[in-house]
Copies of this chain bind each other. A is one copy, B any other.
């Protein structure tokens, strides 16, 4: 008990990152954290993590650094911006990318990290903040066998299910883009259905209960609709994030020469909701956006 636990770095302490920090601490790891928002760092510190002044400082202190920021641009900053992770990597250091970004961008980041003494592992996550907090997320992981072996205790601390889906960074991101296509469609369509039901005079709570027990049920419908019913749009998963993910799915389909009308419809719906001012709201606000469209 007096041994100093191995430290894992977490860059990005938002809804998902904070849950990961908690799960790592519960698993016995020391945790070093960096977030550009002081409030997020305070939250992490309160859980028992040690905050560092920069991504570089995290990478110097930890042999495994997990990055869980929102998009490609933020990862670019964290890895290769001022006081970034890349120049701070020691031989054998691993950089895990848990964000959902385009598979080609993951492959590109992996190639650039390959030019350092470090190595990149592709580790997208699914399940939302509650499961991040509980350490029961689903992870898709892709990277060298040696790197995946070394990460196994970290995966075990934060995920309930780990799917090794390939040997090269980018392989896991492909699965994640496909999954999030469906998360985006199922949510946007669920919001369409709830607003239509309300317009037809049906009781929204009863509609929720019936669908949850019927063939129209989906994971994200069951997860988000209670927030919509409560009018609780404090962001756990912001609408702009699923807009980004729907866009990734549309780009992925185009890259592979496949028409994807549902992904396109989801991209259009989320983009319109963001344009209407719901970008920073929880994505359950898609119901509110649909209600307004329906004149409610």
Contact = CB atoms under 8 A, between A and B. Distances in A.
Contact of A127 (B180, B185, B214, B220): B214
Interface stretch (A1-9, A106-114, A261-269): A261-269
Contacts of A197: 174-175, 178
Residue with the greatest number of chain B CB neighbours at <10 A, chosen from A189, A190, A197, A265: A189
A199 B253 CA distance: 9
Contacts of A72: none
Contact of A217 (B192, B218, B294): B218
Contacts of A259: 293-294
Residue with the greatest number of chain B CB neighbours at <10 A, chosen from A126, A182, A188, A252: A182
A196 B261 contact: no
A179 interface: yes
A161 B219 contact: no
Contacts of A200: 174, 178, 252, 256
Interface stretch (A31-39, A145-153, A202-210): A202-210
A197 B161 CA distance: 20
Interface residues of A, number: 61
Identical chains bound together, number: 2
Interface of A: 126-128, 138, 140, 161, 163, 165, 174-175, 178-183, 185-186, 188-190, 192-193, 195-197, 199-200, 202, 206-207, 209-211, 213-221, 223, 249, 252-253, 256-263, 265, 268-269, 293-295
Q: Which 4 A-B pairs have the closest CB atoms?
A: A182-B216, A218-B218, A126-B214, A189-B262
17 contacts: A128-B215, A161-B213, A165-B202, A165-B206, A174-B202, A178-B211, A179-B211, A179-B216, A181-B192, A182-B189, A182-B216, A182-B218, A185-B189, A186-B218, A200-B252, A217-B219, A218-B219
